[in-house]
Amino acid sequence: MKLVTNLVFKGECRQAFEFYAKVLGGKLTAMHTFGEAPGDMPIDPSFKDKIMHAWLDVGDQSLMGCDAPLGYQEDMGGFSATYHSEDAAETRRVFDALSEGGKVTMPFNATFWSPGFGMFTDRFGTPWMVNTLPAGES
């Protein structure tokens, strides 16, 4: 299990993460655009070159980032806490417990990158993403 902060941008995620990697001496291990998503995923054409997922490793710490489509920007308030687990049942348990009394923005489900992923704002106003890591990733 790993807790990671996810920074949410309005279109400048790539520039920010390249800058953070340079300044902090980190290594960018992922930088995927919305345009790389499967063809059946509805994406505004103006957003295809925006970043869906960035990952920066700095020492033993990590930072995630993304460009949020309009609507999600307000829900996420510029960041989200992110929970990662290799156990889908545990990820589901955490999703159900933390989202209780909050607002689910993406129901927990399998995605093209994860056997189980979901997004919500908890009852305290903290935006969260929970993610099940595919076998062999950590």
137 within some domain:
no
The reported pLDDT for the residue numbered 70 is: 66
Residue 39 near residue 14 (C-beta atoms within 8 A) = no
138 within some domain:
no
The reported pLDDT for the residue numbered 38 is: 80
Pick the residue with more confidence: 74 or 17? Answer: 17
95 within some domain:
yes
Cα-trace Rg, the chain: 15
Averaged over 118-134, what is the pLDDT?
88
Residue 78, CB-side half-sphere exposure with 13 Å CA sphere: 0
101 within some domain:
yes
* Confidence label for 57 from pLDDT (cuts 50, 70 and 90): very high
Range of the domain at 54: 2-132
Q: Is the pLDDT of residue 77 over 90?
A: no
Look up residue 107 and give its amino acid: P
Residue 6 near residue 77 (C-beta atoms within 8 A) = no
110 within some domain:
yes
* Confidence label for 7 from pLDDT (cuts 50, 70 and 90): confident
Averaged over 50-63, what is the pLDDT?
91
26: Cβ contacts below 8 Å, ≥ 6 apart = 20, 56, 57, 58, 59, 63
Q: Out of 15-19, 44-48, 73-77, 101-105, which region has the weakest mean confidence (pLDDT)?
A: 73-77
Report the C-alpha gap between 31 and 23 in whole angstroms. 18
Number of CB atoms found within 10 A of residue 89's CB: 10
Report the C-alpha gap between 126 and 135 in whole angstroms. 28
Torsion, Cα 111 117 118 119, to 10 degrees, reads: -100
CATH of the domain at 36: 3.10.180.10
Q: Is the pLDDT of residue 136 over 70?
A: no
Give the chain's domain count: 1
pTM, rounded to two decimals: 0.69
Residue 50 near residue 13 (C-beta atoms within 8 A) = yes
128 within some domain:
yes
